[in-house]
């Protein structure tokens, strides 16, 4: 039995609501502490891919997500311990308001739940722009709502003047919740946004470096960093072992076989690895500016399962990596780069050829669009021509004016390199595009065998929040809007790599 504890000092940065300044404060704290010489582990509550990119830039370590809906609350201490291994401090940025979580499911996936699971003190970032004494009532409400959540400090944001700060601090003096900082209401640091939130770091790296440095300067000037570090060190040890990709694969394999996990023998480097052979198949992972959405644990699981993971940029490279036996295309913004992706005809042809060979391809959201016949980068009411994509799927995509957002529960409907029929997963959708048809329709449907290939089958039966059929399985291709965290279902990586090695 694997045992252990995690004793990394930690803080959760939360807020009463979205737009209060969590990302500003959390990223600034990460950068300021890292600049002081501390090894800072960055984390983000929820499924968001974009903020962790800024966290990684601030700290020099991978930004990691802590999502109780996707992975289950019981998995979070281990995932946290894995990400924070060797760190002097961990900073966890919350999501939405402190107590906001998955719709109609109580505290599930809320920042409050994660703080409780991690036994971490919470620092509340309050937008004080239009209040003075009322701030005490607000903080009191959040601090007393759930006695198991330790709201241990406040950072005041958008403070108008010295006089305003004096009034706010006076109001909070008797609250029992100390003030660890006050940030002035000044011109916002330039962090441009578009239809799905902040522009990812990969698309504006030089500017992003400047933005993160400016956030660090603001936080350093306005916050009590020694006091916050002392608060972080008050977090008690977190029982349980850190998550380990190789061990999680062994547990998944043992569960499938119906017997307990055996000794720690898997190295992911030889015949006993998930590949099932002595060679390590190359798994190409799409990256670059068009495909920035990925959880760090996915590549770690693929490596532990026996693959050589090679990242490539579909905007710049005209060939798949040498020896590619499988392809993973995560989320991102192909609609922004549709013209460039379409113009890269040699790579589109190489992807189509890989799919035609039966090699496993896992595509989520942006990857789904890239594998379609075409992508129109404007909504239906706008005049725009469809641009050719890889043509792997018998479907066409375009931008939409409607945001699709939320957690999903789904069941695998068709056999694929990822999961067997009947496997249940939890996932997340986040996009402003539509694809027609929305799912493979099976061997008797109108999309059967389009392009001369095998039939397009449905990938998922979504069972919550509403029932619908979604995504495509075609040969070795599994493509869907659903983002799934493989740490919750590590068998996905093992099955994928086994398919590569066949």
Could you give the residue numbers annotated as active site?
365
Tell the residue number behind the tokens 């983002």, with chain if given: 483
Q: How far apart are CA 218 and CA 189, in angstroms?
A: 9
Which residues, in sequence order, are CB contacts of 334 under 8 Å at separation 6+? 290, 291, 341, 366, 369, 370, 375, 389
Closest by CA position to 87, among listed 60, 113, 67, 111: 60
Question: How far, CA to CA in Å, does 485 sit from each of 117, 201, 428, 477?
Answer: 19, 21, 9, 18
CB 14 within 8 A of CB 22: yes
Helices (H) and strands (E) in the chain, counts: 15, 23
212 φ/ψ angles, rounded to the nearest 5 degrees: -65, -40
Q: Do the Cβ atoms of 5 and 78 come closer than 8 Å?
A: no
262: helix, strand or coil? coil
Angle between helix 225-232 and helix 22-35 axes, rounded to 10 deg? 90
d(CA 22, CA 206): 22
Contact 276, 465 (CB under 8 A): no
Q: How many angstroms separate the CA atoms of 142 and 500, rounded?
A: 50
- On whether the CB atoms of residues 478 and 418 are closer than 8 A, the answer is yes
Q: Which two tokens stand for residue 234?
A: 């008050």
Instruction: Give the span between the Cα atoms of 478 and 222, in whole angstroms.
Output: 49
DSSP codes joined into one string, 39-82: -EEEEEESS-SHHHHHHHHHHSS--EEE-HHHH-GGGHHHHHHH
Q: What is d(CA 306, CA 268) in angstroms, rounded to the nearest whole number?
A: 4
Helix (H/G/I), strand (E/B), else coil: 297: helix
Nearest-5° Cα angle at 274, 352 to 80: 100
Q: What is the DSSP letter of 454?
A: P
Is residue 304 within a helix (H) or strand (E), and if so which, with residue range? helix 296-304
């Amino acid at each position: 039995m694997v045992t252990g504890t995690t004793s990394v000092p930690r803080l959760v940065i939360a807020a009463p609501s979205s737009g209060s300044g969590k990302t500003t404060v959390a990223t600034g704290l990460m950068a300021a502490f890292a600049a002081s010489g501390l090894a800072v582990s960055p984390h983000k509550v929820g499924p968001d891919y974009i903020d962790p990119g800024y966290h990684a830039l601030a700290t020099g370590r991978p930004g990691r997500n802590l999502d109780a809906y996707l992975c289950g609350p019981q998995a979070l201490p281990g995932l946290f311990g894995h990400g924070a291994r060797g760190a002097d401090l961990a900073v966890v940025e919350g999501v939405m308001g402190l107590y906001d979580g998955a719709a109609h499911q109580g505290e599930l996936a809320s920042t409050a739940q994660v703080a409780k699971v991690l036994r971490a003190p919470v620092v509340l970032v309050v937008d004080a722009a239009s209040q003075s004494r009322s701030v005490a009532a607000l903080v009191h409400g959040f601090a007393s709502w759930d006695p198991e959540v330790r709201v241990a400090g406040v950072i005041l944001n958008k403070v108008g003047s010295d006089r305003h700060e004096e009034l706010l601090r006076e109001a909070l003096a008797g609250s029992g919740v100390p003030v660890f900082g006050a940030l002035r209401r000044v011109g916002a640091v330039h962090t441009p946004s578009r239809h799905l939130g902040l522009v990812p770091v990969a698309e504006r790296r030089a500017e992003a470096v400047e933005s993160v440095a400016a956030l660090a300067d603001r936080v350093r000037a306005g916050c009590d960093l020694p006091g916050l570090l002392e608060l972080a060190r008050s977090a008690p040890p977190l029982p349980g072992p850190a998550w380990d990709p190789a061990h999680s694969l062994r547990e998944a394999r043992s569960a499938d076989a119906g017997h307990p996990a055996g000794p720690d023998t898997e190295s992911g480097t030889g015949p006993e690895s998930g590949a099932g052979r002595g060679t390590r198949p190359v798994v190409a992972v799409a990256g670059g500016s068009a495909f920035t959405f990925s959880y760090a644990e996915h590549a770690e699981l693929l490596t532990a399962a026996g693959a050589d993971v090679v990242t490539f940029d579909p905007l710049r490279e005209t060939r798949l990596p040498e020896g590619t036996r499988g392809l993973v295309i995560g989320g991102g913004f192909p609609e922004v780069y549709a013209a460039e992706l379409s113009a890269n005809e040699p790579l589109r042809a190489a992807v189509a050829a890989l799919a035609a060979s039966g090699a496993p391809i896992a595509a989520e959201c942006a990857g789904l669009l890239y594998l379609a016949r075409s992508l129109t980068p404007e909504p239906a009411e706008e005049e725009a021509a469809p641009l050719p994509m890889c043509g792997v799927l018998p479907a066409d995509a375009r931008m939409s004016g409607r945001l699709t957002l939320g957690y999903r529960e789904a069941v695998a409907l068709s056999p694929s390199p990822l999961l067997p029929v009947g496997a249940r997963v939890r996932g997340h959708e986040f996009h402003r595009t539509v694809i027609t048809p929305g799912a493979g329709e099976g061997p008797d449907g109108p999309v059967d065998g389009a392009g001369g290939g095998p039939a397009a089958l449905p990938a998922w039966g979504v069972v919550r929040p509403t029932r619908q059929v979604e995504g495509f399985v075609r040969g070795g291709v599994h493509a869907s809007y659903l983002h799934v965290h493989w740490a919750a279902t590590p068998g996905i990586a093992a099955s994928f790599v086994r398919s590569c090695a066949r």
